[in-house]
Amino acid sequence: MSMKARIFSTALNKMERRVYSTVTIIVIGTFLATMWPIYPLFSRIRPFVLGMPASLFYLLVLVFLVFFSLLALYRWEDKRGKFE
């Protein structure tokens, strides 16, 4: 068997690999944060934020977390000329 299973391309340098790993961890972390055992810690009614129970507002925070993380990654890739 000559090929190894890889997650990241060997063409990436250490810094790039670290950026992708970080974003991947944030995304997976967010996914886990919507479920047991993390979400139960935050699934409470109070405090109300923007009129919503904390259990709902927490999920909105996660939406924005993913959005801003991927947005940052996208802009970083753009700056490095990945989309030309």
Under the rule (CB under 8 A), what is the footprint of other proteins?
1-10, 24, 27, 30-31, 34-37, 39-40, 43-46, 48, 50-53, 55-56, 59-60, 62-64, 66-67, 70-71, 73-74, 77-78, 82-83
Contacts of 44 by beta carbon, 8 Å cutoff, 6+ apart: 53, 54, 55
Neighbours of 9 (CB within 10 A): 9
Torsion 39-40-42-45 (CA) sign: positive
Smallest distance from the beta carbon of 54 to other proteins, in angstroms? Answer: 9
Closer of 5 and 15 to other proteins (Cβ): 5
